[in-house]
Amino acid sequence: MLQQKQVTSVLNKQKKRDEWFLTEYSVNPYEGCSCNCLYCYIRGSKYGENMSEHLAIKANALEILEKQLRNKASKNQYGVVVVGSATDAYMHQEEKYELTRGFLKLLLKYRFPVFISTKKLLIKRDIDILKKIDATAILPSDLKDTLKRGTILSVSISSLDEKITDILEPGAAKPSERLQLLFELKKEGFLTGVNAIPLLPFISDSDAEMEKIIIAAKAHGAEYILIGGLTLFGTSSADSKTLYYKFLERYDRSLITKYDQLYGDGYFAAKKYQQDLKERADRLCKKHEIRNKILAI
Ligand code: SF4
């Protein structure tokens, strides 16, 4: 049984449109995420080392979200809504609670476009609603001629190696299952792609590993692939940096020195690394003729 939380707001307005995901709003049906990825940015003392033990459902969220969407729609303030920015909207508890599905019904009713990135297969349950959103959502005027549709669906992949993802993303579907999901969503006619975020330094970020992911994404119907680096927050026992370093000790101790050089005492990889990753990603996407952004123009 999940903890029940009462909330006063569900629809968060971003300061500006996200350049990568095109989103202007975010909604999260749950607090915490049972996918339990070790590198997850929401980690920390609030959720503990095992986030599954501290999950909460926003019990009154539908009522609040409806008010907020009605208000935005009445002012014509449409924008793409990311469903699940700080949780996977399809973590397994959703099967029982169906709150993400409730959110989608409201987003359909008030005609808001959606973006979802997931590591779980349960999204297939909601294909019916997602198709209706895709066909009827009202887009911000500057996206009408470029995006042209109301639903953007990504699967998230950090590595194709199951030995790695079984440790790093213990509650997520296997990468091969996510690729199959991508294929099925594409077959249903959706705009689909891969969020290869985060790629793991010295593990899945080499040209060869990146190419494997790009080729697999394209072969399974991705129209775009968004590639980004790894951020590691915090120093407490439940923070992502601490947990990720524990993973490195288990996976390959020799990488620890390299990570120390890359991250130092900070949370972000060195600027030079980030720039190099971007340049290599751009070059490889061009080579394999796949977009590294959602919009075709
Ligand atoms: S799926 Fe996303 S939100 Fe959930 S634990 Fe993993 S990184 Fe965090």
Ligand 1 pocket by C-beta < 6 Å: which residues?
Answer: 33, 35-37, 40, 42, 87-88, 119
Which residue has its alpha carbon closest to ligand 1 atom 8?
Answer: 40
Which of 93, 278, 119 minimizes the C-alpha distance to 195?
A: 119
Give the model's confidence band at 78: pLDDT under 50 very low, under 70 low, under 90 confident, else very high. very high
Average pLDDT on 106-126 reads: 98
Average pLDDT on 44-69 reads: 88
Give the model's confidence band at 50: pLDDT under 50 very low, under 70 low, under 90 confident, else very high. confident
Is the Cα torsion angle 94, 220, 160, 214 positive or negative in sign?
A: negative
Give the model's confidence band at 49: pLDDT under 50 very low, under 70 low, under 90 confident, else very high. confident
Query: pLDDT > 70: what percent of the chain?
Result: 99
Which comes out higher in pLDDT, residue 1 or 37?
A: 37
Q: Which residues of 118-141 are buried (b: 16+ CB within 10 A; e: fewer)?
A: bbbbbbeebbebbbbbbeebebbe
- Domains recognised in the chain with CATH numbers: 3-287 (3.20.20.70)
| Bridge partners of residue 295, in order along the sequence | none
User: In the 3-class helix/strand/coil scheme, how is the chain assigned residue by residue?
Assistant: CCEEECCCCCCEECCCCCCCCCEEEEECCEECCCCCCCCCCCCCCCCCCCHHHHCEEECCHHHHHHHHHHHHHHCCCCCEEEECCCCCCCCCCHHHHCHHHHHHHHHHHCCCCEEEEECCHHHHHHHHHHHHHHHHCCCCHHHCCCCCCCEEEEEECCCCCHHHHHHHCCCCCCHHHHHHHHHHHHHCCCEEEEEECCCCCCCCCCHHHHHHHHHHHHHCCCCEEEECCCECCCCCCCCHHHHHHHHHHHHCCCHHHHHHHHHCCCCECCHHHHHHHHHHHHHHHHHCCCECCCCCC
In this predicted model, what pLDDT tens digit does every residue of 171-227 receive, in sequence order?
A: 999 999 999 999 999 999 999 999 999 999 999 999 999 999 999 999 999 999 999
Evaluate if residue 20 carries a pLDDT over 80. yes
Give the model's confidence band at 62: pLDDT under 50 very low, under 70 low, under 90 confident, else very high. very high
**Spatial contact of 45 and 20, defined as CB atoms under 8 Å apart:** no
Average pLDDT on 80-88 reads: 97
| Bridge partners of residue 4, in order along the sequence | 57
User: So what's the pLDDT on residue 45?
Assistant: 63
What spacing in Å lies between the alpha carbon of 65 and ligand 1's midpoint?
Answer: 22
**Spatial contact of 251 and 167, defined as CB atoms under 8 Å apart:** yes
**Spatial contact of 235 and 241, defined as CB atoms under 8 Å apart:** yes
Which of 238, 157, 152 minimizes the C-alpha distance to 198?
A: 157
Query: pLDDT > 90: what percent of the chain?
Result: 93
Give the model's confidence band at 43: pLDDT under 50 very low, under 70 low, under 90 confident, else very high. confident
Strand 30-31 and strand 56-58: the pairing is: antiparallel
**Phi, psi of 28, deg, nearest 5:** -130, 115
CA distance 149 to 135: 7
Give the model's confidence band at 71: pLDDT under 50 very low, under 70 low, under 90 confident, else very high. very high
The burial class, CB within 10 Å (0-12 / 13-18 / 19+), for 88 is: buried
What spacing in Å lies between the alpha carbon of 91 and ligand 1's midpoint?
Answer: 9
Give the model's confidence band at 244: pLDDT under 50 very low, under 70 low, under 90 confident, else very high. very high
Which residue has its alpha carbon closest to ligand 1 atom 6?
Answer: 37
Pocket test for ligand 1, best of 33, 93, 119, 197 (most atoms within 8 A of CB): 33
